[in-house]
Structure formats: structure tokens, C-alpha cells
Amino acid sequence: MKFKTALLMGFAFTAGIGLTSTLDNIHPATGFASALAKDTAQKDASQDENNNAETVRLLTLFGTVMDVVHSEYVEPISDKKLINNALDGLVGNLDPHSSYMTPEQFKQMQDEISGQFGGLGLKVQADGGHVRVVAPIDGTPASRAGIISGDVITMIDHKNIADLTLDQAVRQMRGAPGTKINITVLRPKTGKTIDYTLTREIIHVQVVRSALYGRVGYIRLAEFDDTSEHEVRTNYEKLVKQVAKTPGKTLVGLILDLRADPGGKLDQAIAVSRDFIKSGEIVSVRGRHPENNQHWNAKGTDITHGLPMVVLTDSGSASASEIVAGALKDHKRAIIMGERTFGKGSVQTLIPIADQGALRLTTARYYTPSGRSIQGRGVTPDIAVAATHGEDELFTYRESDLAHVLSNIGGKAGEETTRQDIPASLVKSIPREPPEKWPNFNPEKPETDFQLQQAIHLLNGLSTYKAEPAAAGKAPVGGNNANDAKTETKNGKDGNSKAHGVKSDEKAEPKSAPVKEQK
């Protein structure tokens, strides 16, 4: 039996099931009593008939093409491969984040979610036939080597990968721990091709880490997995205890670093947001079926009790990261600093298909508390600070650059509002990019992290800030205890304020002393 014949028989059986189901839902007391009901039913039936005829025609075409390829292709090819190729296109061309996974690919994804796997530590995505880096994972060979978000992988072990699928490329990058691999990337920001020789490792994903810079707490969230919120809370409590070792001292601010965080689980993004926002909406989700729309609110908790916050973002901050950044921005709970985020405003649902793999399907868009969709737009920082000198926004990779990108609909249009409650003198003291001779970024040396240094500078400045006349009577920026922090430091008791040069009557210089991690 030819494939198209079997395909049409299967379709006829499916159509019969659909017809039976529809008839079973007719109410027995009314049936088709009125002429209007009859007319509507006839139109619906006619429309269904037309749709079914078109579907049969297209399925016939599909079967014919498959039969021709099967019999005439230059070398034998299995039906399984042809059908898997078709399924890839069927789902993968809908948008950049929907895909069909074979059983092998599904297992691979489950291994990644478990938090331990062998390889280089790269989050990658297919993009118009290319393999593009979404983000390197902290503390992995890829991160230490300097591979960054937006890099396009062009060669593996000096062999072009243009003809490989994403899955095939990922398999080649994985291997036995301790073995070496050469990766060639094209960096769109510079137009340069860079070779990296890396050693594969068992990748242990450290989701959350923290540090203390003077009296400013720092929490780095690398992705949103099952334990993210718990670890954020645990690390914050550790910072509070650490700063309290100096009698009379408390934290003056908190930095939440979401740079190069590709996202993860929606429930964890909501939970992390609830750790800092006491009231109001966190996020809403709207899909195809209105009855499935949902929204989530805060639960009256702020683990910091209103401590001023800065959230660091860049073009690698995506999905769940943007939910947190968008919620904290809309509620004016934190100052967003850095670069515009990736712009992935869609929600994917994982749908296992018996033992035949799974679908990763886009089922909804999400919206920030103000009703904005960040799909293709991202979250714009309150204070823009580039990571490197002379960075060209034109070559930054984001959602809007992907093929088959999902449209931005259903939310409030227009630009995001600019915050007016951040002291102008402090904003002006923050350079928009590093000086030309700023040292190259080294993740193990926080003094080389220009965006981090500016966040520390801002929070220390807020802790000593005296309200300008125009700002009198306004709520403290980013939290409710800014006045308490000011009282503690107004007599010069805070040993960090001088090092950062941010007294209220001084203009901070870009060359102010960088702050290192407190051991």
C-alpha cells in the first residue's frame, strides 16, 4: 500500500470520529427546531465539508511527495526519517520555540532539566538554519572561554555544521569529560570569527550564587529550575547574616543579576517575583482559549522588607527572566539597569505523546502587570549601561531577529514609561559605557564587571542620598527603608560610601574604585 493511500484511510477514520462527537453534543430538547438553527447548522456543515475537502487535497499532496521521495531519492531513505522531517517542519515553522522532539531528543531534554550533563555549558537555539548561542551557563567551559549570547556556531572541530540540525550539532558538542573540542563562532557584534578550544566537563548547573560587596548584597540567578526560588531566599538570608557580623550594619541594597539567564519555569518566575513584591499582579497569561487565561498576584511578602534593589539585564535575559524584570519594573520595586532584554514573551507547554516523543508547543503569551507584552520588544532598562566600550546595538541578537517570530498582540502599545523618581544627580553619575581602557571582563574578577560596578555605585549612592527639592515627599526609590539606610550613613559611618565617591554633594567619577567580593 502506498503511503498516501494509508494516510487518507487514517484521515477518513479521524473525520468519522469528529462527526460522531459533534452529533453527541446536540441538545435533545431543541435539536434543529428553528429555521435559524437549521441555517446555521447547514452553513457550519458546508464550511466543515469545504475544510475537509481542502485537508484531503493537501494530505494527498503530502502522500504523493513522500512516495516520490521514497522511490526516487538518490539513496534509500526510511519512512521514519521522512516523517520525522515532516514533523520537524510541521511544528518547528510555527515559531522559534515550538518543536517536535523524538523520544531520543525528549530524553536528552529531561537530562538537561535534571541539572547535570556532559558538554560545554551552552544554551543554544536553531535560527534560520544556524546554531546560535542563547547564553553560556555560569562556571562552565563555554562561559570561562568567553563565548557570549548571540554568537553563531559555524564549525565544530574545523568542520562546517551548516547542514546539521540543532540536535545533530548538540550531539557533536557533547562527549566524554576531559576530551577536547574546537568551536568556531561568528560574533555579529564585531563581524569576527573566533576559534575556541574547550575541554568537555560534566556540567553542574549552579542555579544561584551570591556575594557581598561592602553592604550591597548580590544574587546571581543563572536560570529558573525547580529550586530557584528556594535558593534565592536561602542566599538572601545568608547575605543578611554575613553583613550582620559587623555590629550595627545591615544591607543597604540588593542586586539581582539576570544577565544571560535564558529563563525556565513559569512557576519559579512567579515565586521569585513574589519574594520581592508585596501586592498587585505579577504576570498574566493569555492563550487561544479565553477560559484558559490566568493571572497571578503577589502574596503580601517581601523577604527584604523593602530594601532598594537593582536588577541587571542584558540581551541574554529571556522568558522567565523577563517576567521577573517586567514585574519588578512595573511595580517600581527595582531599578532595571543594563541592556534591553531578549524579548521572548511566549509560554511553551510540554506535551508528551505516549512513547513517541513530545511536543514543545507555544500555547500563550504573557503580559506584565501594566498589560504590556514584551514579545519581540523586551524590557527596557531604567538606566542603560553597556557591558563593553563602543558596543553596537545593531549587532545584538534578540527574539525579533529570529525566523517565524511570534507577533506582539493583545497588550498595551507604545513605549515603556520612563521613571521619574530616580535622583537625577545619581543617574547622571553613571556612565553609559565603560571607558575605552576598561579591563576585559573576567567572571572571576568582579572589578572587571562594569555593569555590576555601576549597580553597586547606585545602591551605595541611594543609601547616602539627600532628597533634592523636586523629589521631596516622594517614596524612596526601590524600597521602603531607604531613609533608614540614609540615617545610618549620614555621619560617615558607612565605610563604603567614600570608596565609591557618591556623597550627595559630589559627582561620582567613572574611575571610582571598583568593589571586590567580600570574603
DSSP codes of every residue in 136-205: EPTTSHHHHHT--TT-EEEEETTEE-TT--HHHHHHHH--STT-EEEEEEEETTTTEEEEEEEE-EEEE-
CB of 70 closer than 8 Å to CB of 3: yes
DSSP assignment of 211-270: EEETTEEEEEE--B-TTHHHHHHHHHHHHHHHHTTSTT----EEEEE-TT---B-HHHHH
Element (H, E) at 108: helix 103-113
Cell digits of residue 406:
511570534
Known catalytic residue at 516: no
Non-local CB neighbours of 397 within 8 Å, separated by 6+ positions: 132, 149, 150, 188, 315
Q: What is the pLDDT of residues 72-96, one digit of tens each?
A: 999 999 988 899 889 989 998 899 8
Q: 95, 344, 463, 497: which is the annotated catalytic residue? A: 344
* Helix, coil or strand: residue 459: helix
pLDDT of 318 reads 93
Mean pLDDT, the chain, integer: 80
pLDDT band at 477 (very low <50, low <70, confident <90, very high): low
As a whole number of angstroms, the distance between CA 14 and CA 8 comes to 10
Q: Is the pTM of this model over 0.85?
A: no
As a whole number of angstroms, the distance between CA 480 and CA 374 comes to 28
As a whole number of angstroms, the distance between CA 53 and CA 48 comes to 8
pLDDT of 501 above 80: no
Residue (of 448, 457, 454) closest to 499 by Cα position:
457
pLDDT band at 9 (very low <50, low <70, confident <90, very high): very low
pLDDT of 503 above 70: no
Count of all residues that appear for the chain in the document: 519
pLDDT of 25 reads 32
As a whole number of angstroms, the distance between CA 188 and CA 150 comes to 7
Measured N-to-C along each axis, helices 228-243 and 266-274 cross at an angle, to the nearest 10 degrees, of 30
- Among 104-113, 266-275, 397-406, whose mean pLDDT is lowest? 104-113
Rg (CA), the chain: 27
Q: 99, 319, 425, 497: which is the annotated catalytic residue? A: 319
Q: What sign for the dihedral angle of Cα 220, 225, 231, 233?
A: positive
- Among 154-163, 294-303, 458-467, whose mean pLDDT is lowest? 458-467
Residue (of 382, 384, 410, 405) closest to 478 by Cα position:
382
pLDDT of 494 above 80: no
Q: What are phi and psi of 357, to 5 degrees?
A: 100, -145
Non-local CB neighbours of 81 within 8 Å, separated by 6+ positions: none
- Among 53-62, 122-131, 159-168, whose mean pLDDT is lowest? 122-131
Q: 95, 261, 275, 330: which is the annotated catalytic residue? A: 330
pLDDT of 117 reads 62
Known catalytic residue at 167: no
> Which carries the bigger pLDDT value, residue 286 or residue 14?
286
pLDDT of 24 reads 31
Known catalytic residue at 392: no
Distance spanning both ends of the chain, measured CA to CA: 73
List the beta bridge partners of residue 213. 216
pLDDT of 126 reads 81
Cell digits of residue 510:
567613572
